[in-house]
Amino acid sequence: FGLDYDSAGSLTPPAQKLLRLVRAILELLWCGTGSPLAVAKILGTCTWYMLLHRSLLVIFDGMYQFVEGAHRCRRPLPTRVVEELLLAVALAPLMHSDLSAPWSTILSATDASEEGYGAVHVSLLPERIREIARLAERDSAATQRLPLAEYACCMLHVACCM
């Protein structure tokens, strides 16, 4: 699952691996049937590469339901799964990150649960966002077990309603 990094700052899936993923999806679509286990493997690889451009992950919903239990029995692919697989193929060229891109001036955090969802956005100078990112990496927000939004508020020294 390695990634390629070039001198221009682009992080991409290796071309041969991305091509194998697209080929596997097209073969699955051509068959029209597949096991939840096979679809789960494709979903996992797509998810890994789409983490480079996280907004792409929004296309998946029906595939999660299809792979539940991940057994080996082949069955017809539901229309929703077919549509999501076709979208994954169409969006494959966008599975990359430009690490040389300028820092955003908007810091965002989102979260959801069975009870609801929420989002926090704040506009900051890029230098301040870089500082927060460095602190978050050094202090490891995950290790602190603080929600990202709460962690960002702590770093900004502002009050947040959670």
d(CA 53, CA 95): 6
Say how far apart CA 41 and CA 70 lie, in whole Å: 9
**Long-range pairs for 155-159 at CB < 8 Å and ≥24 separation?**
156/122, 156/124, 156/128, 156/132, 158/122
Neighbours of 6 (CB within 10 A): 10
**What's the longest Cα–Cα distance across the chain?**
56
Kindly report, residue by residue over 86-143, the tens digit of the pLDDT. Answer: 999 999 999 999 989 888 888 887 777 778 788 888 888 888 888 877 777 665 544 4
Whole-prediction pTM value? 0.72
> How far is it, in rounded angstroms, from Cα 51 to Cα 45?
10
pLDDT digits (tens, 9 = 90+) for 52-90: 998 899 999 999 999 987 677 888 999 999 999 999 999
